[in-house]
Amino acid sequence: MSATVQARTLRLGTRRSALALAQAQAVAEALRLGGHDVQLVEIVTAGDRSAQALTALGGTGVFVAELRQRLLADDIDLAVHSLKDLPTAEAAELVVAAIPQRADPRDALVSRDRLALAELPVGAVVGTGSPRRAAQLLATGLGFSVVPIRGNVDTRLRKVAEGEVDAVVVAAAGLARLDRLDEAAEIIDPAQMLPAPGQGALALECRRDDDSLATLLATLLDDESTRAAVTAERLVLARLEAGCTSPVGALADVAEGDEGPELYLRAAVVAVDGSRALRMSATGPVAEGNELAIRLAAQMIDEGAADLIGENP
């Protein structure tokens, strides 16, 4: 058993990017307000070191592997991840002890002249490093030229400012955490572009045997509604046997229904060239969120989702 939380400074592992540091600072501040000392430990991951596309690096987990290794080696006490970067399968010796209240899960468009998506001209060059975003952009039928880009948020926005691309699509939550949301021309309606499962949410991971820290994180920072929503989204992804770089979108909303809290779950699988799209939804009690996600994924598979995913590289 690790030392009690009160007797130690918590070593919080984070990626070194400006966005990751902003996320980690927010978590650290919440823990400090709870009376705990926190030290940030910056870690460079394989995804940060390489300029290759995420699909070429293996996609799932490229931003989290080093943080998890440092956790297992007891070099850090907890790690903060963007939840959408985490593989859907749990790590045997680690636990996601807290998922704080989610930021805006939607995608945002940053464009020259602040044009909305529907206002961009035919042939407009739109940059994204996400196969999910690329497929849904092509599926709009608006005639975009979608090009792959890598880099942090600042790098991507600079490509717009310098005219390398006409627009980029990024997570609205990332812009907000960097105080740059005012640069978005449009927050894209999920009816047009479903976000990645878990987008906008953070995951706080610690060693499974560190009971005192896991309890602290759950008590201080876990948000019940956010956990229910993102768990359902990620379960759809897992049941479709798709990774975090697959062209799969999912979004769950929790709202008060006539008989208690309800979960409205939407999911989409889109061909890489945008030529075909399968979109389905389901609603049910939050308490039955896992069963709802499993049923929705099964219905999508019955409608050909697995074949559609298999068409994508």
DSSP code at position 249: E
Task: Give me the numbers of helices (H) and strands (E) for the chain, helices first please.
Answer: 10, 13
**Rounded distance between C-alpha atoms, residue 51 and residue 20, angstroms:** 18
Q: In CATH, which of 3.20.20.105, 3.40.640.10, 3.40.190.10, 1.20.120.160 is domain 5-100+201-222?
A: 3.40.190.10
User: For helices 289-302 and 224-239, what crossing angle results, to 10°?
Assistant: 30
**Rounded distance between C-alpha atoms, residue 218 and residue 27, angstroms:** 13
> Quick count: other Cβ atoms within 10 Å of Cβ 255?
11
Where exactly are the structural domains of the chain?
Answer: 5-100+201-222, 107-187, 230-310
**Rounded distance between C-alpha atoms, residue 134 and residue 245, angstroms:** 11
**Rounded distance between C-alpha atoms, residue 272 and residue 195, angstroms:** 16
Confidence band of 57 (pLDDT split at 50, 70, 90): very low
* Residue type (1 letter), 279: R
pLDDT value at residue 90: 86
Q: Annotate 73-131 with DSSP letters as a single string.
A: TTS-SEEEEEGGGS-SSPPTTEEEEE-PPP---SEEEEEGGG--GGGSPTT-EEEES-H
Contacts of 121 (CB under 8 A, 6+ apart): none
- Asked whether residue 78 carries a pLDDT value surpassing 70, the answer given is yes
* Same-fold call for 5-100+201-222 versus 107-187: yes
Q: Quick one: which of 243, 261, 245 has its CA closest to 253? A: 261
Q: Are 198 and 259 in contact (CB under 8 A)?
A: no
Contacts of 234 (CB under 8 A, 6+ apart): 83, 88, 197, 198, 250
CATH code, residues 107-187: 3.40.190.10
Q: Which of 83-87, 125-129, 241-245 has the weakest average pLDDT?
A: 241-245
Residue of 201 and 89 predicted with greater confidence: 201
pLDDT value at residue 58: 45
Q: Are 132 and 111 in contact (CB under 8 A)?
A: no
- Active-site entry in 77, 85, 166, 210: 85
- Asked whether residue 150 carries a pLDDT value surpassing 50, the answer given is yes
pLDDT value at residue 306: 83
Report the percent of the chain where pLDDT is more than 90: 81
Residue 33, SS3 per DSSP: helix
The position carrying tokens 């602290």 is 216
Q: In CATH, which of 3.30.160.40, 3.10.129.10, 3.40.50.720, 3.90.190.20 is domain 230-310?
A: 3.30.160.40
- The residues pairing with 207 across neighbouring beta strands, listed in sequence order, are 94
pTM: 0.90
Tell me, yes or no, if 85 is annotated catalytic.
yes
Q: What are phi and psi of 204, to 5 degrees?
A: -105, 115
Q: Are 42 and 16 in contact (CB under 8 A)?
A: yes
- Asked whether residue 210 carries a pLDDT value surpassing 80, the answer given is yes
Alpha helices in 14-122, H assignment, sequence order: 18-33, 46-49, 65-72
Residue 232, SS3 per DSSP: helix
**Rounded distance between C-alpha atoms, residue 188 and residue 172, angstroms:** 9
